[in-house]
Amino acid sequence: MLPIVLRTRNRTLDFDSPLSPFAEFEHMLEHIWDGSRPTGMFGGYDVDIYSDDDHIFLEAELPGLSKQDVQVSVEDGILTIAGRKTHEKIEKDHVHHLQERYFGSFSRSFTLPATVDAK
Which domains are assigned to the chain?
35-111 (2.60.40.790)
Q: For the whole prediction, is pTM greater than 0.75?
A: no
In single-letter form, the type of residue at position 11 comes to R
Q: Give CA separation, 77 vs 7, 30, 73, 93, 112, in Å.
A: 58, 21, 10, 49, 5
pLDDT in tens, the chain (119 residues): 555 555 555 555 555 565 666 666 665 555 554 555 444 444 567 888 888 888 888 998 888 888 899 999 999 888 999 988 887 777 778 887 887 777 788 888 988 888 888 77
